[in-house]
Amino acid sequence: MNEKRFRLKGEQVSRFVYADNAATTPVSSAVIDAMMPCFTQDFGNPSSLHQAGRRAKDVLDSARASIASSLGCEPSEIYFTSCGTESDNWAIRGAASRMKKKGRTHIVTTKIEHHAVLHTCEALEREGYTVTYVGVDEYGRVDLNELRAAVSDKTALVSVMYANNEVGTIQPIREAAEIAHSVGAIMFTDAVQAVGAIEINLEELPVDMLSFSGHKLHAPKGIGALYIRRGLVIDNLIEGGGQEKRRRGGTENLPYIVGLAKALEIAVNKIKDLPRVEKMRDRLISELTKIPYSRLNGHPTERLPGNVNIGFEFIEGESMLLWLDISGICASTGSACSSASLDPSHVLLAMGVPHERAHGSLRLSISHDTTDEDIDYIIETLPPIIEKLRNMSPLWEEIVKKEAAKV
Ligand SMILES: *Cc1c(COP(=O)(O)O)cnc(C)c1O
């Protein structure tokens, strides 16, 4: 972020630290620059036959080619959608209805998927499909034995997310795909958190479909894509004109498609800089877990470079967020999508994290834009907030008394 300072209501000026990149990211200036000509010069409809249309079609083709080369697939395997949620819906619904015609009406997914996947699967259950929700271990890694036991020759689709949006755990996708393929099922992965954050090479990854979204990787909100392996046919979700080889109707959002391609190109170039992000992540983890009664949520090593998720006992995650916000730090309790409800996160509960710690969980998601000074600021700001909140808790009072009695 360029703007590191912002003005609170009065005169007071405080730091601004954006540590919620898993919810969304700012659009980078290089991405905006790449998009601008599409609003005025290359504004044509790629389906029009005249020169403005042809010009737009060229821009569309090169964006698709650029994305394909970033991910190691063919341009013809990339389909643009309106967002990650649409891609997830399309992959799951499209595969389910297609495979139903072959007598396969069973879907296997995990308990820790994003709601774009979970709620689609729940809707399909109401429409007569059966769904198995496979569990995860204490680190949030999918249980491969349970997955192996769940699939059968009735399984249409296996849907396992590449990396979890709340705790950052990276899944054994290759192994999951092998299990799916062993029974002839389609393998889909929601890679919205992974694409742009870690290296992904579809040439080597045996998945049939993979979804991603612009706004998680410094492109705008409202653009997504679905990779569909060549030769795989799924049913359409959005009917309309002949766009996207008649598989997804709607005039292409050319500026945002160009933005997505640029953002992905930048992300791929920055992969070599990931150790710096991981170092900042690990410093946050090691300093913040020094706070008593705290514990890292998620996997110690198989985790996204920018993800920190820590559970603090005797505290409400929401109160922590409010105090951090007052200090200019944007964080999250887990998932922006469930922030409207006070139920503990389904991901943490599936990992067996006790309710007390799930309620006091905090997610900090950093990016290449984060600086060491931002990390210092979080490390000095959070502990006094936790102390203040705990001092207001009757449960904490009892703990302090017990500890005092021990000495
Ligand atoms: C953000 C997110 C989505 C939804 O993507 P949108 O573009 O916001 O619709 C889906 N899956 C995961 C894992 C996400 O993090």
Quote the ligand 1 centre to 395 CA distance (angstroms). Answer: 36
Query: Do the Cβ atoms of 251 and 53 come closer than 8 Å?
Result: no
Specify the DSSP class assigned to residue 187.
E
Quote the ligand 1 centre to 210 CA distance (angstroms). Answer: 12
Same domain (yes/no): 262, 121: yes
Q: Which ligand 1 atom is at minimum distance from the Cα of 161?
A: 13
pLDDT of residue 13: 55
Q: Tens digit of pLDDT for each residue in 223-232? A: 999 999 999 9
Instruction: Identify the burial level of 233 via C-beta atoms within 10 angstroms of its C-beta, where 0-12 means exposed, 13-18 middle and 19 or more buried.
Output: exposed
Pocket test for ligand 1, best of 25, 110, 193 (most atoms within 8 A of CB): 193
Using pLDDT thresholds of 50, 70 and 90, give the confidence band for residue 407.
Answer: confident
Same domain (yes/no): 219, 76: yes
Q: How many CB atoms lie within 10 A of CB 7?
A: 10
**How confident is the model over 45-50, as a mean pLDDT?**
98
Question: What CATH number has the domain bearing residue 37?
Answer: 3.40.640.10
Q: Which residues pair with 318 in a beta bridge?
A: none
Same domain (yes/no): 235, 300: no
Nearest to 190 by CA among 121, 269, 100, 287: 121
- 337 classed as catalytic: yes
Question: What CATH number has the domain bearing residue 332?
Answer: 3.90.1150.10
The answer to whether residue 298 sits within a structural domain is: yes
Lowest mean pLDDT, pick from 7-21, 72-86, 218-232, 248-262:
7-21
The answer to whether residue 1 sits within a structural domain is: no
Q: For residue 237, is pLDDT > 50?
A: yes
Residue at which a domain ends, from 253, 269, 285 = 269
Q: Tens digit of pLDDT for each residue in 129-171? A: 999 999 999 999 999 999 999 999 999 999 999 999 999 999 9
**How confident is the model over 212-229, as a mean pLDDT?**
98
The answer to whether residue 71 sits within a structural domain is: yes
First CA to last CA across the chain, in angstroms?
A: 47
Query: From residue 92, how far is each of 120, 154, 208, 228 by CA, in Å?
Result: 7, 15, 12, 12
Which residues 6+ apart lie within 8 Å of 29 measured at CB? none
Quote the ligand 1 centre to 246 CA distance (angstroms). Answer: 24
Ligand 1 pocket residue status of 193, Cβ below 6 Å? yes
pLDDT of residue 356: 86
Q: For residue 339, is pLDDT > 60?
A: no
Q: How do strand 224-228 and strand 78-81 relate by DSSP bridges?
A: antiparallel
Same domain (yes/no): 243, 344: no
Same domain (yes/no): 134, 155: yes
Q: Tell me, rounded to whole angstroms, the distance of Cα 83 from its chain centroid.
A: 12
Ligand 1: residue whose CA is nearest its atom 5: 84
Distance (Å, whole) CA 340 – CA 362: 16
Distance (Å, whole) CA 110 – CA 102: 24
Entry pTM: 0.95
Residue at which a domain ends, from 247, 269, 291 = 269
The answer to whether residue 200 sits within a structural domain is: yes
Q: Tens digit of pLDDT for each residue in 113-134? A: 999 999 999 999 999 999 999 9
Report the domain count for the chain: 2
Same domain (yes/no): 257, 359: no
Domain that holds residue 207: 29-269
Q: Which ligand 1 atom is at minimum distance from the Cα of 213?
A: 7
| Helix (H/G/I), strand (E/B), else coil: 32 | helix
Ligand 1 pocket residue status of 116, Cβ below 6 Å? yes
The answer to whether residue 265 sits within a structural domain is: yes
Same domain (yes/no): 161, 286: no
Q: For residue 241, is pLDDT > 60?
A: yes
Quote the ligand 1 centre to 25 CA distance (angstroms). Answer: 12
Nearest to 99 by CA among 176, 178, 209: 209
The answer to whether residue 217 sits within a structural domain is: yes
Q: Tens digit of pLDDT for each residue in 303-317? A: 999 999 999 999 999
Q: Which residues pair with 209 in a beta bridge?
A: 188, 228
The answer to whether residue 145 sits within a structural domain is: yes
pLDDT of residue 2: 43
Same domain (yes/no): 332, 211: no
**How confident is the model over 69-87, as a mean pLDDT?**
98
Specify the DSSP class assigned to residue 28.
P
The sign one gets for the Cα dihedral 283, 301, 298, 83 is: positive
Among residues 73, 83, 121, 337, the one annotated as catalytic is 337
Same domain (yes/no): 163, 295: no
Specify the DSSP class assigned to residue 184.
T
Residue at which a domain ends, from 222, 248, 269 = 269
Same domain (yes/no): 41, 174: yes
Same domain (yes/no): 237, 373: no
Ligand 1 pocket residue status of 83, Cβ below 6 Å? yes
Same domain (yes/no): 116, 255: yes
**How confident is the model over 94-103, as a mean pLDDT?**
98
Q: For residue 1, is pLDDT > 50?
A: no
| Helix (H/G/I), strand (E/B), else coil: 365 | strand
Q: Which ligand 1 atom is at minimum distance from the Cα of 164?
A: 13
The answer to whether residue 285 sits within a structural domain is: yes
Ligand 1 pocket residue status of 114, Cβ below 6 Å? yes
Q: Tens digit of pLDDT for each residue in 341-387? A: 567 899 999 999 998 899 999 999 999 999 999 999 999 999 999 99
Look up residue 400 and give its two tokens.
Answer: 């302090």
